Amino acid sequence: MSDPVKYVLDETRIPKHWYNIQADLPKPLAPVLHPGTLKPLGPDDLAPLFPMELIVQEVTQEREVPIPEPVREVYRQWRPSPLYRARRLEKALQTPARIYYKYEGVSPAGSHKPNTAVAQAFYNKQAGISKLTTETGAGQWGSSLAFAGALFGIDVQVFMVRVSYDQKPYRRALMETYGAKCIPSPSPETQSGRAILEKRKDHPGSLGIAISEAVEIAAQRDDTKYALGSVLNHVLLHQTVVGQEAMAQLEMANDYPDVIVGCTGGGSNFAGIAFPFLGAQLRGGKQVRIVAVEPAACPSLTRGRFAYDFGDTAHLTPLVKMHTLGSVFTPPGFHAGGLRYHGMAPLVSHVKDLGLIEAVAYHQTKCFDAGVQFARAEGILPAPEANHAVKGAIDEALKCKAEGKSRAILFNLCGHGHFDMQAYMDYFAGKLKDQDYDEKELAMALAGLPAVKEAA
Amino acid sequence: MSDPVKYVLDETRIPKHWYNIQADLPKPLAPVLHPGTLKPLGPDDLAPLFPMELIVQEVTQEREVPIPEPVREVYRQWRPSPLYRARRLEKALQTPARIYYKYEGVSPAGSHKPNTAVAQAFYNKQAGISKLTTETGAGQWGSSLAFAGALFGIDVQVFMVRVSYDQKPYRRALMETYGAKCIPSPSPETQSGRAILEKRKDHPGSLGIAISEAVEIAAQRDDTKYALGSVLNHVLLHQTVVGQEAMAQLEMANDYPDVIVGCTGGGSNFAGIAFPFLGAQLRGGKQVRIVAVEPAACPSLTRGRFAYDFGDTAHLTPLVKMHTLGSVFTPPGFHAGGLRYHGMAPLVSHVKDLGLIEAVAYHQTKCFDAGVQFARAEGILPAPEANHAVKGAIDEALKCKAEGKSRAILFNLCGHGHFDMQAYMDYFAGKLKDQDYDEKELAMALAGLPAVKEAA
């Protein structure tokens, strides 16, 4: 056989700590603010929603946060995940580039999301919590938390945006197989749900509403907390196992990335692969270009403003400084539901603002073109979200071809598309549209950002 | 961390040969007969359908058949597949048994089927074939051959039983993503299809009809051959990479199976895990109990007769000696479509007749009970077919518990259930029925077996 296509590590090589980029930032993150007082939030403000260990992880400046043994015990079912050299794709593209991808679809739920779901379930269990509430759109996050809940004996209640609940019954079935309760949102189970149903009985729901319902229930009960699948610092922290493993695997290949590509919605899979490399660079290591790929229909990094904003539509969350399209901005519908969020993780926004990463935006049909080309060469069928990273990596590889340069490109293939086949059917039937957002709506949403005067 | 849960091998450990149990059988297989002359078939009789390399593999008595390097090149994308110790399931069952499972769902198509699809595509490509036809029921095989065809630049035409084509659009979408053409059968593209459509325009199709259509097209054209996903000796041969790897992985665990469990439809995943161990036993190695688990609604090993029969309903194939329910027997509908075949691989039938393996039959709801228990403990959602093996393994583990004995149980988790979520939804909705076959129909089908006088 020729050189390897797959770099595997045994389970003793699962990282022993998560990497915290806050320790290496040239400038600290802006504080999270209380929406009433506009003063920095204290740990107690978050205590009704999260166990203290996670609140501490949200703000810690320690470079290495130890991964508890029970979390590593679960990780080892699918971690270290494989790193692939995409030799057949390289051949198909006739590129001199060396393309590597880290494949997170090997987790039981089929994406990178269990990396944080398992950690969050563990810390909640340790804090005596018996129930977790959360929201889900496309269902990747909901099924991951359902999986983690099953392992730690925690009841999981998932508020699933009603239109997805109706359109994606198989994701729901997966959550139920893991024993979770899946509720279409808006629901009659919460005050916020009932208020919306009173106005419109057949309301299709939104992520913002589902968040409100999940938060409302968690805030009311001592035995119940809330879990979020992206955006927050501790969620990004848990994903850094991805990049740490990739670094060890590229060492096996005697290689180091010139370019790293990840898709960005809330920012967690992107940060997971990129931050360990970015941290090494910030500590004096090799420079690496890092490219965030986002959907053109919801382009928070390329068209949003870096400003304080709410995390939800109903303005129940604290104010965080991030790249945002405005919390009232409604992105048009497209198939990469996991990238359909008005804001961007504060940490990803911050490093973008510092000029440490680049961002590009693509329309979805070009991403599906890339995904199908990838599937035919590499065999793995990517999730619509992951197709954005595939497209970004292919474009970088074609640049190498045009310039006659052999660069090492690393991207995160964050999940498989087995539960997204309707999107592929629409693609093949020519039904996929490249919808653009409404420029006027974006301008209005940005104009409506809360006025926050920042300390110099 | 405690003892490993996952045994991984790097790609240099992919087997270099397939293991051929024919070399170690105490009594040779009965010959395949020409249905007209009732004389043993020669290689030329099969040449219109298969390339010569595969025909040779069908009858060779060599113990080790080398795996061509280009096939190993493709294998290494997902091979060696992981072997898991099911520690969480053991805990849930409170059993002293050591349960291991080999997980074949990591292949791009999600099952063990690519192990042979890739080999068959390679040998056909080598023989200058540019097109392969095949049939598929549930779609596991069709999507695997579609994947293999994409890699070797072979056009793949899949005749998919019409009722499945309509009910399982996502499997079809997967085949199309790999570039295959998927045609609902009966179709107007063949004489046999047209003959059936003339009688009944809305005929739901059957595997037997789909085979006829695929064979008809392959037989007509020099550049086109036919591919089968189970039953034949060369198909079982290709699957022995599974058992060979498991043997090496159990060596890492310092263990050896007391019991091996696999589900049986055509017999290929079962033979893949069991034959390398059975061969070692036949050569004087450790005794191991081997249990084939089949659906109670289609129980060829437990209720069929070991006799010469046709492989298809329309009687176009040669006569093979196997456990059969009669080629005109129609099993009732159930969700493990991959196990819904009237016959059993001649090699599996033969070792059953020699008393070297056992067989049990289970109804589907008990198998889904087991599958859901497995998913909640281990995270992986099994295919309905694989649930039969899970049920068999759990029953063996509970026997260990009752007897207070710690035995090593190895089973083959041959595929994931991501494309079978409707079955899980039906299960949770209480809509799954345990249909039994019609005793009278079985008696009539067995009475109608062709009269073949065997040489002593």
Task: Give the domain CATH number at B72.
Answer: 3.40.50.1100
Mean pLDDT for the stretch of residues A170-189: 95
A127 shares contact with chain B (CB less than 8 Å) = no
Domain count for chain B: 1
Chain B CA closest to residue A150: B376
Residue B366 has pLDDT above 70, yes or no: yes
| A88 part of contact set with chain B, CB < 8 Å | yes
Distance (Å) from the C-alpha of residue A147 to the closest C-alpha of chain B?
Answer: 6
Mean pLDDT of B391-396: 98
**Residue A369 maps to a domain:** yes
Q: State the residue for tokens 């005067």.
A: A453
B252 vs B255: CA distance, rounded Å: 8
User: Helix, strand, coil % (nearest 5) of chain B?
Assistant: 45, 20, 40
- Tell me how close the Cα of B371 comes to any Cα of chain A, in angstroms: 9
Asked, for residue B308, whether it belongs to a domain, the answer is yes
Q: How confident is the model at residue B1 (pLDDT cuts 50, 70, 90)?
A: low
Nearest Cα of chain A lies from the Cα of B444 at a distance, in angstroms, of 40
Q: Which residues contact A447 (CB under 8 A, 6 or more apart)?
A: A326
Residue B400, pLDDT score: 98
In a domain, B346, yes or no: yes
**pLDDT at site B456:** 54
Q: Is the pLDDT of residue B455 over 70?
A: no
Pick from B229, B217, B209, B206: nearest CA to B181: B217
- Flag whether pLDDT at A146 surpasses 80: yes
Residue B141 lies in a domain: no
pLDDT digits (tens, 9 = 90+) for B69-95: 999 999 999 999 999 999 999 999 999
Element (H, E) at A219: helix A207-220
Least confident span in A111-120, A440-449, B31-40, B313-322: B313-322
**Rounded to a whole number, what is the distance in Å from the CA of A379 to chain B's nearest CA?**
5
What pLDDT band is residue A386 in, cutting at 50, 70 and 90? very high
Which pLDDT band, with edges at 50, 70 and 90, does A13 fall under?
Answer: very high
Report helix, strand or coil for B319. Answer: strand
The better pLDDT of the pair B315, B33 is held by B33
pLDDT of residue A38: 93
Interface of A with B in 376-405 (CB under 8 A): 376-381
Which segment of A291-295, B4-8, B146-150, B366-370 scores lowest on mean pLDDT?
B4-8
Q: How far apart are CA A249 and CA A242, in angstroms?
A: 11
What's the pLDDT at B192? 87
- Give the pLDDT of residue A1: 55
Q: Does B174 touch chain A (CB under 8 A)?
A: yes
CB B217 within 8 A of CB B157: yes
Task: Tell which wins on pLDDT, B258 or B335.
Answer: B258
Phi-psi region of A122 (alpha: psi -120 to 50; beta: other; left: phi over 0): alpha
Look at residue A252 and tell me if it is in a domain.
yes
What mean pLDDT comes out for the span A312-316?
78
Asked if residue A314 has pLDDT above 80, the reply is: no
Provide the mean pLDDT of chain A.
94
Examine the pLDDT at A454 and tell me if it is beyond 80.
no
* Tens-place pLDDT, residues A220-243: 999 999 999 999 999 999 999 999
Does residue B216 fall inside a structural domain? no
Hey, are the CB atoms on B379 and A151 less than 8 Å from each other?
A: yes
The two tokens of residue B379 are 């995270």
Q: What is the mean pLDDT of chain B?
A: 94
Give the integer Cα–Cα distance in Å for B352 and B359: 8
Residue A148 scores a pLDDT above 90: yes
Q: What is the mean pLDDT of residues B395-401?
A: 98
| Residue A112, pLDDT score | 98
Task: Pick the residue of B152, B376, B387 with the most A CBs within 10 A to test the interface with A by mutation.
Answer: B376
Confidence of residue B106 (pLDDT cuts 50, 70, 90): very high
Residues of B in contact with A377 (CB under 8 A): 150
Q: Residue B311 has what pLDDT? A: 86
Residue-number span of the structural domain to which A100 is assigned? 66-110+234-447
Residue A348 pLDDT = 98
Please report whether residue B314 resides in a domain: yes
Q: What is the pLDDT of residue A455?
A: 63
B330 to chain A, minimum CA–CA distance in Å? Answer: 29
A170 in contact with B, Cβ within 8 Å: yes
- Closest by CA to A178, choosing from A210, A213, A153, is A153
Q: In which band, very low, low, confident or very high, does the pLDDT at A14 lie, cut at 50, 70 and 90? A: very high
- The yes-or-no verdict on residue B2 having pLDDT over 70 is no
Please list every residue in chain B whose beta carbon sits closer than 8 Å to the beta carbon of residue A77.
Answer: 5-6, 84, 378-379
How far is CA A42 from its chain centroid?
25
Inter-chain touch A76–B372, beta carbons under 8 Å: no
Q: How confident is the model at residue A80 (pLDDT cuts 50, 70, 90)?
A: very high
pLDDT exceeds 70 at position B270: yes
Banded model confidence at residue A259, pLDDT cuts 50, 70, 90: very high
pLDDT in tens, A320-364: 999 999 988 877 777 777 788 889 999 999 999 999 999 999 999
Alpha carbon distance B68, B161 (integer Å): 33
Q: How many percent of chain B have pLDDT more than 70?
A: 99
Q: Percent of chain A beyond pLDDT 90?
A: 83
Residues of A in contact with B8 (CB under 8 A): 8, 10-11
**Tens digits of residue pLDDT in B186-243:** 999 999 899 989 999 988 888 778 888 999 999 999 999 999 999 999 999 999 999 9
Contact predicate A246/A102, CB 8 Å: yes
Residue A454 lies in a domain: no
Question: Are residues B366 and B286 in contact, defined by beta-carbon separation less than 8 angstroms?
Answer: no
What is the mean predicted confidence (pLDDT) over A178-189?
96
Query: Residue A178 and residue B151: Cβ atoms within 8 Å?
Result: no
Average pLDDT, integer, range A121-150: 96
Do the Cβ atoms of A93 and A107 come closer than 8 Å?
Answer: no
pLDDT band at B445 (very low <50, low <70, confident <90, very high): very high
